[in-house]
Amino acid sequence: MGLLAATFAAGWGSSSAVARSGLGGSTLATFAVGCAICNKLVVSILGVSGALTYFAPVQPALGAAGLALAGWALAIRMRSLDAGKCRIEVDGASA
């Protein structure tokens, strides 16, 4: 996620598909970390026993899906940079 965020901070061109997949990846990764009981949203929806029974087993899959989405978004950003679609300015001159 840090590498993907760095491409946005550098001012490279943006794509809505990349932004959506990056946002989806970070959201899934947020839900995947931590214990199931510590996630207040999940506990409020499923309750404590539901969080342990249903949510805890799918946390690794959520983490994997989050990493896959973030990796896909980063790959698209890097491919567009290689294709010359993104311009980088170095000391006031376009590279």
Assess if residue 91 is contained within a domain: no
Burial 47-80 (b: 16+ CB within 10 A, else e): eeeebbeebeeebeebbebbeebbebbbebbeeb
| In-domain check, residue 90 | no
Instruction: For residue 27, tell me if it sits in a domain.
Output: yes
Q: What's the domain count of the chain?
A: 1
Mean pLDDT of the chain: 76
User: What is the pLDDT at residue 89?
Assistant: 62
Residue 51: domain span: 16-85
Whether 95 is covered by a domain: the verdict is no
The predicted model scores a pTM of: 0.64
According to the model, what pLDDT value does residue 87 have?
Answer: 57
